[in-house]
Amino acid sequence: MLKRWSAALVGGLLLVGVLGACGGENAGSAGGGDGKITMGFAQVGAESGWRTANTKSIQDAAAAAGIDLKFSDAQQKQENQIKAIRSYIAQKVDVIAFSPVVESGWDAVLQEAKDAKIPVILTDRAIDSKDTTLYKSFLGSDFVLEGKKAGEWLVKEYQGKTDPVNIVELQGTTGSAPANDRKSGFADVIKADPKFKVIASQTGDFTRAKGKEVMEAFLKANPKIDVLYAHNDDMGLGAIEAIEAAGKKPGVDIKIITVDAVKDGMTALSEGKINYIVECSPLLGPQLMDLAKKVVNGESVPQRILTEETTFTPEQAKAALPSRKY
Ligand code: GYE
């Protein structure tokens, strides 16, 4: 187990090596001796293609960086994540990283980590805590911006048209940062034009099965749906099954916008079943491991690190698919 004081001592010495390696490969042995960094990672679950890619990225990057990874899957339940974090504190890991299922309710357990002097890094999802000293850094996407990009595509698509546009929305997990922010970013953009009407909005919990189930209910209750906005690809893919089962053509009878750009989503986009995808990158592993080394070595790190992302049309999806890794 790496002692923090020794990490701080060697941290300065290692700096040259870290910079020289230009990705920090050398810093894996930052502790000296047996000094492997141990990271406890509390993952959300395995709810989507995005999450699967994210987990693989974290596991691969930890192995490549020589970081000993303790990994737990919370099955989308905050109580399981809190239990995992408490167990990492008890095991005296060097650093805790996690992707919070929901935004609220983290202060107590993060205070326990802080009292135990174990640094915490947030990845992917944010928390709403006022006390930003409870974590060292937050690495992930700007979900509000993602929602805005989805809205901007819609505004352009219906430019010059005056008929009402009936939108249904499949929200992510209730209370999660991506669900809250993708909803508000989208709403912010479309509110400028009253022809856009969100006629139904419900959670599909970021899963394919729930996306399908809720879309079936939307279709039964609403004879005229023009657009589906799904907070991730998986819910959109589930919804496509429901739309086809109802005898409608996804992408044509109902335009579909999703977020993520995982392979299955990109395939549906290239086939015209989805019309537009806002990218959200799950490949956070390498950046997370670099951050962890710095934090354990007592270096200062930015409080917020944003992921770079783009958007895809069907043509762009066709071009990107052959080299898409996830
Ligand atoms: O969009 C979704 C996943 O938190 C950004 O979680 C992540 C979201 C992602 O289940 O597919």
CB count in 10 Å sphere of residue 269: 28
Contact 139, 132 (CB under 8 A): no
Q: Which residues of 36-52 are buried (b: 16+ CB within 10 A; e: fewer)?
A: bbbbbbbbbbebbbbbe
Pairwise CA distance, residues 215 & 219, whole Å: 6
- What are the angstrom distances between the C-alpha of 155 and each of 35, 53, 167? 54, 31, 12
Tell me the pLDDT tens digit for each residue of 61-87.
Answer: 999 999 999 999 999 999 999 999 999
Tell me the pLDDT tens digit for each residue of 91-112.
Answer: 999 999 999 999 999 999 999 9
Amino acid 35: pLDDT: 79
- Kindly state the average pLDDT of the residues 294-318: 96
Nearest atom of ligand 1 to the alpha carbon of 233: 11
Pocket-testing residue among 47, 50, 76, 144, ligand 1, by greatest number of atoms within 8 A of Cβ: 50
Tell me the pLDDT tens digit for each residue of 212-257.
Answer: 999 999 999 999 999 999 999 999 999 999 999 999 999 999 999 9
Amino acid 34: pLDDT: 59
- What are the angstrom distances between the C-alpha of 207 and each of 29, 48, 83, 90? 39, 6, 24, 33
pTM exceeds 0.85, yes or no: yes
Residue the block writes with tokens 């919990």? 205
Confidence band, pLDDT 50/70/90 cuts, at residue 2: very low
| CA 243 to ligand 1 center in whole angstroms | 23
Nearest atom of ligand 1 to the alpha carbon of 207: 10
Tell me the average pLDDT of the chain: 91
Tell me the pLDDT tens digit for each residue of 174-212.
Answer: 999 999 999 999 999 999 999 999 999 999 999 999 999
Amino acid 277: pLDDT: 98
Nearest atom of ligand 1 to the alpha carbon of 176: 4
| CA 54 to ligand 1 center in whole angstroms | 9
Kindly list the protein residues whose Cβ atom lies closer than 6 A to any atom of ligand 1: 47-48, 50-51, 124-125, 178, 206, 232, 234, 259-260, 280
Tell me the pLDDT tens digit for each residue of 7-34.
Answer: 443 333 333 333 333 333 333 333 444 5
| CA 193 to ligand 1 center in whole angstroms | 28
Amino acid 283: pLDDT: 96
Confidence band, pLDDT 50/70/90 cuts, at residue 6: very low
Residue 246: burial class (beta carbons within 10 Å; 0-12, 13-18, 19+): middle
